[in-house]
Chains A and B, each alone.
Chain A
Amino acid sequence: MALMPMTVFADEINGADTAWIMTSTALVLFMTLPGLALFYGGLVRTKNILSVLMQCFAIAGIMSILWFLVGYSIAFSGDNPYFGDFSNVMLSQVSMDTPSGTIPESLFAMFQMTFAIITPALIIGGFAERMKFSAVLLFSAIWLLVVYAPITHWVWGGGWLGNVLDYAGGTVVHITAGVAALVAAIVVGPRNGFPSKPMPPHNMTMTISGAAMLWVGWFGFNGGSALAAGGDAAMAILVTHISAAAGAMTWMFYEWIKYGKPTALGTVTGMVAGLGTITPASGFVGPAGALVIGIVAGIVCFNAVIVIKQKLIIDDSLDVFPVHGIGGMIGTLMVGIFASKELGIFSGQGGWDRESIIIADQLQIQFTGIVATVVYTAIATYVILKVVNVITGLRVTDEEEQQGLDIVSHEERGYDI
């Protein structure tokens, strides 16, 4: 998608490409609902399960409407390198037959919409179990238009970071979500009792079911980012799968050696780390490169979780930054290496338009992309949270937090047993 040329004249709409991207769109929506919702839901305490599921659903609704109204236009219209224009507000330029490459633009906008849903949904892991529902909605809505849509424009919409290799969202999705979650965890503050009081996951079965759905859905996320059904998409799925497997097994054995037991949560967390890390690289690297990327993801993200939670004592409650933020960063860097066609068996793959790259130069471009994304996301997220704090307040009261968000925010219980 990084090289999805906005200027190229459209080919004929192709049935096979269209069919695959429609399938991918469904797969990516499935990642959020119910995949991510269950993955996160199992990790919180019994009294907050419904708040997590509810936030995922509400975010899916609000982001969809905002993306249709104005988000897509900001991301994918206009020549300005930093911010799109409003020429495509309410998809005014999109009719049934408008092409985007070899697929209908209605489909491209819809496929992108599912990315605009999952990115804010990923962030809720940072402030889970304590943020007001009204604040979650207001924050997510502003964040989509101020952070997500412009950065999408920079990288994929013809903006100033168009040279960054980011196939399916290492910068656009994972770094933005990870950094925003970290900033939100700091600004909102830790859950009462953190870190002395244990807050173990309440339903690991749910978490592992959700994680399994993420693995499957990710084929659409990365494979669909080819925006066509062909070798590119197939290779993207292959490398995605290899990295997920390598990330899961690396984390499992690492934990086994370090703590004496291989855990289910560790295994699926390593899988998500492998998936997040391969995301920017998926259409550019080969399967051998993906193996290295997955192993590095498992080791680095594992240690990042420990540093953030236990050394820095930051309550990024569901570890969004160490898994997605750090994973996105190391993936965005490693694609600068493994996209090269001169690494033998570890060479890059994919039909993108640059025959080969000079690793040192590309790493600089990748690094610039990472720094720009991190700095802008961090500052903008901080300001948005301060604004939301003035309007709705960010946290529930201590007593409400003790009672649990399910009853306090929604007057419902997740379980009646």
Chain B
Amino acid sequence: MKFVTAIIRPHQLDDVREALSELGVSGITVTEVKGFGRQKGHTELYRGAEYQIDFLPKVKLEIAISASILDEVIEAISDVANSGKVGDGKIFVTNLEKVVRIRTGETDQDAL
């Protein structure tokens, strides 16, 4: 089992969600986050004063999946969320040791 964390542009969330659903991913956790990478921040202008805003709004997806569909999931996210410009985000993959569905007590593959 793998745990995929993806940081993407906020407006691409709906497309990514749709692409993941088609792969059979049955659950996603979404968080609105702020951060910066190579895109750095942007400037804002208030009464002639330019402010450098370091942290940009992004969306973080957390997805627990079976290792067998990992490549497809990565490919789907990379395809859909790719605008070709700096600031498209990143995908992090970690090993997932255990999963429990709270209601039934099912574990691991059964709980995904």
In the complex formed, the residue of B with least CB distance to A265 is B46
Residues B47 and A198 in contact, CB atoms below 8 Å apart:
no
A232 interface residue per 8 A CB criterion: no
Question: What residues on B are CB-neighbors of A266 within 8 Å?
Answer: 47-48
Cross-chain contact B44 with A269 (CB below 8 angstroms): no
Say yes or no: B52 contacts A310, CB within 8 Å.
no
A309 touches B46 (CB 8 A): no
Contact between B48 and A200, CB atoms less than 8 A apart: no
Bound-state Cα–Cα, A46 to B46, Å: 16
Q: Mark A314-335, 1 if CB is under 8 A from B, else 0.
A: 0000010000000000000000
- A103 CB, min distance to chain B CBs, angstroms: 39
Query: Which of A200, A258, A305, A319 is in CB contact (< 8 Å) with B44?
Result: A200
Q: Report the Cα distance A185→B38, complex, angstroms.
A: 38
A261 to B46 alpha-carbon distance, docked (Å): 11
B53 close to A (CB within 8 Å) = yes
Interface size on B, residues (CB 8 A): 10
A319 to B47, CA, bound (A): 9
Interchain CA distance A263-B52 in the complex, whole Å? 16
Contact call B46/A255, Cβ cutoff below 8 A: no
Are A265 and B47 touching (Cβ within 8 A)?
Answer: yes
A272 to chain B, nearest CB (A): 11
Residues of A within 8 A of B46 (CB): 200-201, 263, 265
What 0/1 readout, one digit per residue, does chain B (40-54) give for beta carbons within 8 Å of chain A? 000011111111110
The count of A-to-B residue pairs whose CB atoms sit within 8 angstroms is 33
Contact indicator A269/B53 (Cβ below 8 Å): no
Contact yes or no, A305 B53, CB < 8 A: no
Closest to B50 in A: A259
Indicate with 1 or 0, residue by residue over A293-320, a CB within 8 angstroms of chain B CB atoms.
Answer: 0000000001001100110000000010
Residue of B nearest to A259 (CB): B45
Using an 8 Å CB-CB cutoff, how does the interface string of B46-90 with A read, 1 for contact, 0 for none? 111111110000000000000000000000000000000000000
Shortest beta-carbon distance from B44 to chain A in Å: 6
How near does chain A come to B49, taking the closest CB pair, in angstroms?
Answer: 6
Q: Could you tell me if A263 and B49 are in contact, using CB atoms closer than 8 angstroms?
A: no
Once bound together, how far apart are the Cα atoms of A259 and B50, in whole Å?
A: 10
| Top 4 A-B residue pairs of the complex, sorted by shortest distance between their CB atoms | A198-B51, A306-B48, A305-B47, A200-B51
Known A-B contacts: A255-B45, A265-B47. Give 16 more (CB < 8 A).
Answer: A198-B44, A198-B52, A198-B53, A200-B51, A200-B53, A255-B48, A258-B48, A259-B48, A259-B50, A265-B46, A305-B47, A305-B48, A306-B48, A310-B48, A310-B49, A319-B47
**Residues of B participating in the A interface, judged by any CB pair closer than 8 Å:** 44-53
Q: Which residue numbers of A lie inside 8 Å of B, CB to CB?
A: 198, 200-201, 255, 258-259, 261, 263, 265-266, 269, 302, 305-306, 309-310, 319
Q: List 13 A-B contacts (CB under 8 A).
A: A201-B46, A255-B45, A258-B48, A259-B45, A259-B50, A265-B46, A266-B48, A302-B48, A305-B48, A306-B48, A309-B49, A310-B48, A310-B49
